[in-house]
Amino acid sequence: MSTTTIVIFGISGDLARRKLIPALFNLFQKDRLEGNFNIVGFAGRSWTDQELKKIAREGIDKFAGYPVDNEKWREFENKLHYISGKFQDENAFVLLANTLENLENGSANRIFYLATPPGFFTDIIVNLGKTGQIEEENGWRRVVIEKPFGTDLESAKKLNHDILKVLREDQIYRIDHYLGKETVQNILIARFANTIFEPVWNRNYISNVQITVAEKVGLEHRAGYYDTVGVVRDMFQNHLLQLMSLVAMEPPASHKANDQRDEKVKVLKAVRKFTPEEVRKYSVLGQYRGYKEEDGVSENSQTPTYAAIQFFIDNWRWQGVPFYLRSGKMLTGKMSEIVIQFKCPPHLMFPLPEDYKFTSNTLSLCLQPDEGIHLKFETKVPDTIAETKSVDLEYHYENVFGQNSIPEAYERLLLDALLGDAALFTRSDRSELAWEILDPIISTWQNADENPLAIYEQGSWGPEEADRLLQKQGNAWIRGCGNH
Ligand code: BG6
């Protein structure tokens, strides 16, 4: 039976408590973690194994949202171990190496999960390298790296350069939890496991694509991180550009990681890189009223908490089709969706009044909440000559697969990393290309005198300027999912 050790750096943090441990335990409950395994937490606090177990269980009870089998829990908690140490301290890594050898007692695979602030990524990887823990004599070695991966192109390049001195690219799993979401994985299934969508999935039939990731929450005690980052780095560099790539990419040659990642990279290569003039024309960055008064936010902060950006994909499939992406904090609700708006029919021969407002078809991929797909089309109103009304064909996961059928994104991602499937992880070239696209947008908006952020009300849909961005082109934001 194989032995696997999962080392989590930064296990005392929020991510481990809310997501990683609950995901690992659920995989264990579902019998998806095969063979012998151990989970070793490494962080600065002077916890004991017992304290880790207690905090892990509290996290599961509070955040997991699934029933806990107590017998399974007792088995699982025996696999939890804790080491206190500093990420920059090579001696602590010697201690780690010795602890792992004792636990494993022979050959074993190891996965190192970096759930720490990004400033420690390089130190940890260098120390793993120095203490011989990346060598694959007795099993494979993989490293999962949390976001953010750099803060701009230069820092991402440096980070890639530094870690690739120690690791091979195929040992690195840069995580983006959106790719682990069930509904995000379904984008490729909807497109390529059906024949009805793909023939119309192009500039001939599609008028525009809208991607919204709206959040009701604000800073959630993360001001120290968020105020240095803002929405473009926090949400667009990873989640939103990944969603756009999945909508826009060509069918990959196979399901293999690099075939999928090649196609996503091609999309980013075709995205137009903006001049400062274009940035002003095609993007609106905003800040919610009251942001500067939040604890931990600097009083002159120019950090955007909202962005709406129009992207162009300069290739044969998408030439001339705007991709409107928006995301923000403190909005009216939590809602992530992708709306494909089709063109209006080229000719209407129905006897309709001249000012008749015809609605074009939309296909909406509802990522969260109320996961599903909606297709809106026109139908004749009964007992009229030719009046039309938009109706909605709806598919809801809950109705088909039952409540709680959708697993937490981290379950899938952790399992894939253990299985060595990197399809849902980011390759180095992709992380750099995303910064190439966003750097000009971030830097142009940093100039507060020339480009003041648009202020929006908490609980709204964002600044009016974002509506005008679409109106200028005869379009409007559409809500394709939920009750509207
Ligand atoms: C994270 C961001 O990556 O995604 C957070 O850092 C954001 O700011 C979160 O709140 C949103 O994720 P989800 O899964 O709740 O949509």
- Dump pLDDT digits (tens) for 65-116: 899 999 999 999 999 999 999 999 999 999 999 999 999 988 999 999 999 9
Q: Is residue 398 part of a domain?
A: yes
Cβ contacts of residue 304 below 8 Å, gap of 6+?
230, 231, 232, 285, 286, 287, 445, 453
The DSSP letter of residue 18 is: I
Distance CA 113, CA 409 (A): 16
CB atoms within 10 A of CB 170: 13
Question: SS3 for 441?
Answer: helix
Which residues form the domain of 123? 3-146
In the sheet that holds 141-145, the strands lie side by side as: 80-84, 36-43, 3-9, 109-114, 141-145, 172-174
| The total number of residues written for the chain in this structure | 484
pLDDT given for residue 42 in this prediction: 98
Total tally of structural domains belonging to the chain: 2
Average pLDDT estimate for 308-329: 98
Quick one: which atom of ligand 1 is closest to the CA of 334?
16
Domain C-terminal end among 146, 171, 195: 146
Q: Is residue 173 part of a domain?
A: no
Q: Is residue 217 part of a domain?
A: yes
Q: Which of 81, 161, 177, 239 is catalytic?
A: 239
- Specify whether 356 is located in the same domain as 313: yes
- Specify whether 77 is located in the same domain as 183: no
Q: Is residue 168 part of a domain?
A: no
pLDDT given for residue 102 in this prediction: 94
Residue 484 has pLDDT above 60, yes or no: no
Q: How far is the CA of 217 from the centre of ligand 1 (A)?
A: 10
Q: What percent of the chain has pLDDT over 70?
A: 100
Task: Identify the band that residue 35 occupies on the pLDDT scale cut at 50, 70 and 90.
Answer: confident
Q: How far is the CA of 177 from the centre of ligand 1 (A)?
A: 8
* List of long-range contacts for 355-358, beta carbons under 8 Å, 24+ apart: 358/388
Residue from 182, 185, 124, 113 nearest 147 by CA: 113
Residue 401 has pLDDT above 70, yes or no: yes
- Specify whether 108 is located in the same domain as 238: no
Cβ–ligand 1 contact at 337 (below 6 Å): no
Can you read off the two tokens belonging to residue 138?
């007795």
| Rg from Cα positions in the chain | 24
List, in sequence order, every beta strand (DSSP E) within 229-359: 283-288, 306-311, 323-328, 335-342
Can you read off the two tokens belonging to residue 29?
């409950």
Distance CA 99, CA 88 (A): 18
- Specify whether 249 is located in the same domain as 388: yes
Q: How far is the CA of 130 from the centre of ligand 1 (A)?
A: 34
Q: Is residue 161 part of a domain?
A: no
- Specify whether 234 is located in the same domain as 142: no
Distance CA 356, CA 105 (A): 76
Q: How far is the CA of 381 from the centre of ligand 1 (A)?
A: 42
Please provide the average confidence, as pLDDT, over all residues in the chain.
95
- Kindly report the protein residue whose alpha carbon is nearest to atom 4 of ligand 1: 235
Given a contact cutoff of 8 angstroms between Cβ atoms, the answer to whether 188 and 181 are in contact is no
pLDDT given for residue 483 in this prediction: 59
Residue 1 has pLDDT above 80, yes or no: no
Q: How far is the CA of 48 from the centre of ligand 1 (A)?
A: 30
Residue 197 has pLDDT above 90, yes or no: yes
- Kindly report the protein residue whose alpha carbon is nearest to atom 5 of ligand 1: 234
Distance CA 25, CA 11 (A): 14
Residue of 177, 220, 227 with the most ligand 1 atoms within 8 Å of its CB, for mutation: 177
- Dump pLDDT digits (tens) for 111-152: 999 999 999 999 999 999 999 999 999 999 999 999 999 999
Phi and psi at residue 355, to the nearest 5°: -90, 15
Q: Is residue 482 part of a domain?
A: no
Cβ–ligand 1 contact at 234 (below 6 Å): yes
Quick one: which atom of ligand 1 is closest to the CA of 336?
16
Average pLDDT estimate for 188-215: 97
Helix ranges (DSSP H) in 311-352: none
Domain C-terminal end among 146, 168, 189: 146
Task: Identify the band that residue 60 occupies on the pLDDT scale cut at 50, 70 and 90.
Answer: very high
- Specify whether 391 is located in the same domain as 455: yes
- Specify whether 195 is located in the same domain as 130: no
Q: Is residue 434 part of a domain?
A: yes
Distance CA 131, CA 89 (A): 11
Judge whether 239 counts as a catalytic residue: yes
Give the pTM: 0.96
Cβ–ligand 1 contact at 215 (below 6 Å): yes
Q: What percent of the chain has pLDDT over 90?
A: 92
Cβ–ligand 1 contact at 439 (below 6 Å): no
Q: Is residue 436 part of a domain?
A: yes
CATH code of residue 445:
3.30.360.10
Residue 45 has pLDDT above 70, yes or no: yes
Helix ranges (DSSP H) in 30-170: 49-59, 70-77, 90-104, 121-130, 153-163
Average pLDDT estimate for 428-452: 95
Cα angle 6-10-12, degrees, rounded to a multiple of 5: 105
Give how far Cα 298 sits from Cα of 121, 219, 226, 328, Å.
Answer: 26, 13, 11, 19
- Specify whether 119 is located in the same domain as 196: no
Quick one: which atom of ligand 1 is closest to the CA of 181?
14
Cα angle 30-372-185, degrees, rounded to a multiple of 5: 55
- Specify whether 218 is located in the same domain as 359: yes
- Kindly report the protein residue whose alpha carbon is nearest to atom 15 of ligand 1: 215
CATH code of residue 75:
3.40.50.720
- Specify whether 204 is located in the same domain as 331: yes
The DSSP letter of residue 232 is: I
Count of CA atoms in the C-beta half-sphere (13 A) of 73:
15
Domain C-terminal end among 102, 125, 146: 146
Residue whose token pair is 């790719």: 179
- Specify whether 192 is located in the same domain as 325: yes
Instruction: Give the DSSP H/E element, type plus range, for residue 211.
Output: strand 206-214
Q: How far is the CA of 64 from the centre of ligand 1 (A)?
A: 16
- Specify whether 192 is located in the same domain as 283: yes
Largest CA distance in the chain: 82
Cβ–ligand 1 contact at 146 (below 6 Å): no
pLDDT given for residue 223 in this prediction: 93
- Dump pLDDT digits (tens) for 357-368: 778 999 999 999
Average pLDDT estimate for 196-215: 97
Residue of 239, 294, 338 with the most ligand 1 atoms within 8 Å of its CB, for mutation: 239
